[in-house]
């Protein structure tokens, strides 16, 4: 995870998503899933996250999804609140499910809180994480399988292999996997 600034809400979001979404919620109490009225704004959210999953801190070539940081299951009234949206890979969003605030919010992450270890490609919490956030950071790695989950390791490996083969420059690696780029720089530096 890397620091991400809060993404500014699009001007027409309330009229196009929040108001009709809240009407939909009122007409469909107890629905298992909310109507995905936010879909036209995924690109805007993705752009604010530099097209990287807020949890994996890597470019998601699949296009990613909207993560309701506080889940619809536990907080249905937040289904159409822009401030509750985070950009995430579908895999990590699925792993998070309704862990809600037990998982570290991408908007809370500070500089240098996480690093990638080479050659294992595992993510770990650094000493830069304040004591008040350490347990949540460790839980996030475990819950989302960010430390050593097979899919995440393969994802990191795909970027690392492109870099090592010369198909991706170090600058390119910084754009698609900044923590991995930092690990490469630390190793060669």
Its sign, for the CA torsion 28, 33, 34, 40, is negative
The pLDDT value given to residue 62? 84
Tell me if residue 30 falls in helix, strand or coil. Answer: coil
Length of the chain: 189
The pLDDT value given to residue 185? 95
CA distance 98 to 28: 20
- Token representation of residue 169: 């420059």
The pLDDT value given to residue 63? 85
> Tokens 């950009």 sit at which residue?
87
Q: What is the pLDDT of residues 8-18, one digit of tens each?
A: 999 999 999 99
Q: What is the pLDDT of residues 42-93, one digit of tens each?
A: 999 999 999 999 999 999 888 899 999 999 999 999 999 999 999 999 999 9
Q: What is the pLDDT of residues 127-175, one digit of tens each?
A: 999 999 999 999 999 999 999 999 999 999 999 999 999 999 999 999 9
Asked whether the predicted pLDDT for residue 5 surpasses 90, the reply is yes
Residue 180 CB neighbours (<10 A):
23
Please say whether the beta carbons of 143 and 96 come within 8 A: yes
Q: What is the pLDDT of residues 92-128, one digit of tens each?
A: 999 999 999 999 999 999 999 999 999 999 999 999 9
The pLDDT value given to residue 65? 94
Helix H or strand E segment including 26: helix 19-27
CA distance 171 to 159: 12
The pLDDT value given to residue 188? 85
* Sequence-ordered list of residues with C-beta below 8 angstroms from that of 18, at least 6 positions apart, any chain: 80, 81, 82
């Amino acid at each position: 995870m890397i620091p991400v600034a809060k993404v500014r809400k699009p001007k027409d979001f309330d009229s196009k998503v929040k108001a009709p979404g809240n009407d939909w919620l009122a007409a469909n109490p107890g629905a298992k899933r909310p109507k995905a009225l936010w879909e036209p704004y995924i690109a805007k959210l993705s752009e604010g996250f530099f097209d990287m999953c807020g949890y994996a801190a890597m470019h998601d070539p699949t296009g990613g999804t909207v993560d309701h940081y506080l889940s619809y299951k536990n907080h249905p009234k937040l289904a159409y609140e822009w401030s509750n949206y985070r950009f995430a890979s579908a895999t990590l969003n699925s792993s998070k499910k309704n862990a809600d605030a037990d998982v570290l919010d991408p908007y809370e992450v500070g500089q240098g809180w996480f690093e990638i270890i080479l050659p294992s490609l595992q993510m770990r919490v650094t000493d830069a994480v304040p004591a008040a956030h350490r347990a949540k950071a460790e839980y996030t790695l475990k819950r989302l399988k960010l430390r050593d989950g097979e899919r995440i390791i393969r994802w990191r490996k795909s970027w690392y292999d492109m870099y090592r083969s010369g198909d991706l420059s170090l600058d390119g690696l910084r754009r698609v996997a900044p923590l991995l780029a930092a690990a490469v720089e630390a190793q060669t530096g």
